[in-house]
Amino acid sequence: MMRANWRTMLFGAPLLLAGSAYFRSSRANAKGGGMSLMGGRVRDIMTTDPAHCAPETPLRTVAEKMVQCDCGEIPVCDQSRKPIGVVTDRDIVCRLVAKGRNPLDAVARDAMSQPVVCCTPDTSISECARLMEQHQVRRLPVVDANGALCGMVAQGDLARRSSSRTAAKVVERVSEPNVFASSVGERSRGAQTSGAAGGRTTNPSPS
């Protein structure tokens, strides 16, 4: 009987130690945001070749693109595919419908937010999350070395690669009241002077 107990203890001890190490590692990853969050880049989680529109695109067409792509934001690009603004479903409601304007008679330029906050494929996922928090946006256009649109990254993409604590923090900050949400042609004054590493802002082209 005594031998059996010692045998159980000898074989059980390594399993207990291994379990403790795994538990400590899991807690460390959760506390630090997770290895996938710290080591990943936007290129690892972004949607490539996203739908976009021109400033003169009818808003009905923009809305149709949102339905087809199951998304809530369409980047507005110039002829060089460089983002000059974005149109969200909230933009259409706050800037047109709530003010008595018929969105069927409007174009993307009438509702788009400017300037647009972008990131690059090489931007770290943690920096991308910080940009979303700072500018209170749920999606960021991704631009290449020439400033042309090459992808989109959304809050949901971050949630799938980061800890629940980090994702909750982004959601909380992004969801705070934004006084510029219903101001035509202006998303955030802070975006105009942002010089954050890994992110960039694009000012609208002269009309």
Average pLDDT, the chain: 75
Task: Grade residue 3 by pLDDT with cuts at 50, 70 and 90.
Answer: low
Is 87 inside any structural domain? yes
pLDDT for residue 81 is more than 70 = yes
Q: What is the pLDDT of residue 62?
A: 98
Q: What is the pLDDT of residue 202?
A: 52
| DSSP letter string, 34-71 | -HHHHH-BGGGTPEES---B-TTSBHHHHHHHHHHHT-
Is 158 inside any structural domain? yes
pLDDT for residue 115 is more than 70 = yes
| Single-letter residue type at 145 | A
Is 61 inside any structural domain? yes
| Residue with token string 């003010």 | 99
d(CA 204, CA 76): 10
Tell me, what CATH number does 122's domain have? 3.10.580.10
Q: What percent of the chain has pLDDT over 70?
A: 58
Q: What is the pLDDT of residue 110?
A: 96
**For residue range 125-170, what is the model confidence (pLDDT) as tens digits?**
989 999 999 999 999 999 999 999 999 999 988 887 665 555 555 5
Whether residues 122 and 177 fall in one domain: yes
Is 65 inside any structural domain? yes
Overall average pLDDT of the 33-61 stretch: 84
**Which residue from 198, 174, 186 is spatially nearest to 115, judged by alpha carbons?**
186
pLDDT for residue 84 is more than 80 = yes
Domains identified in the chain, total number: 2
Whether residues 57 and 78 fall in one domain: yes
**For residue range 7-44, what is the model confidence (pLDDT) as tens digits?**
544 444 444 434 444 334 334 444 444 434 446 899 99
Q: What is the pLDDT of residue 183?
A: 52
What is the extent of the structural domain holding 170?
A: 36-202
Q: What is the pLDDT of residue 175?
A: 47
Better-predicted residue by pLDDT, 8 or 67: 67
